[in-house]
Chain A
Amino acid sequence: DTEVTQTPKHLVMGMTNKKSLKCEQHMGHRAMYWYKQKAKKPPELMFVYSYEKLSINESVPSRFSPECPNSSLLNLHLHALQPEDSALYLCASRRGGDTDTQYFGPGTRLTVL
């Protein structure tokens, strides 16, 4: 099983809403990632969790709040987003070795009204 799942597939929210994106993997991977991808652009790293601890935060605004409740789950809590935050949010996981393959989920398409 080399699958990373993400829910929901699509999300529309207002600027005052609070919502969460969910990512799950059951490959025993110990590193998990959140990326943001705008149309026709490459994915941009937001956060890295290693062994359930936040190891990299790429200066992401505090309206994005990651959480890693256990080794299989990664959440991204959203609050007071702006329309420019509309994008595809991708989750990825990696076993943990430096040259291990990073597996991506299908993403959540987020629209902020």
Chain B
Amino acid sequence: GESVGLHLPTLSVQEGDNSIINCAYSNSASDYFIWYKQESGKGPQFIIDIRSNMDKRQGQRVTVLLNKTVKHLSLQIAATQPGDSAVYFCAENIGSGGYQKVTFGTGTKLQVIP
């Protein structure tokens, strides 16, 4: 979803449940997508990525799904833990070489309820 004013979209999840964070991207020429996790006071941390020739990629406890038809990405976190509480950004990559740009989505705040 899109942020309104200063408020980030927030997802509250019970510890142990699965989390799904959604993201819409804008540029059909984007060829590479990344999910970042940002904890308070820290820089974004890479979680998982996916190329445009794939529709699913799995990591440890995380899965990214890509639907190019509707320009939609999702991040699934299995068995959500308190340490997963953070802001999650999807990012799309356009261009190549020195002209490659990564553009971030608006972000979703994940709150894990113990």
Contacts and interface: CB of A to CB of B under 8 A. Distances in A.
Interface of A: 4, 31, 39-45, 48, 50-51, 53, 55-56, 90, 92, 94, 96, 98-99, 101-107
Contacts of B59: none
B43 A104 contact: yes
B43 A105 contact: yes
B26 to A, nearest CB: 13
B32 A31 contact: no
A101 B96 CA distance: 13
Nearest to B3: A40
A42 B106 contact: yes
A28 to B, nearest CB: 16
A37 B106 CA distance: 11
A56 B101 contact: yes
Contacts of A94: 100
Given A40-B7, A42-B106, A90 B98 contact: no
B46 to A, nearest CB: 5
| Residue among A51, A96, A102 having the largest count of chain B Cβ atoms under 10 Å | A102
6 contacts: A40-B3, A45-B101, A48-B99, A50-B99, A102-B34, A104-B36
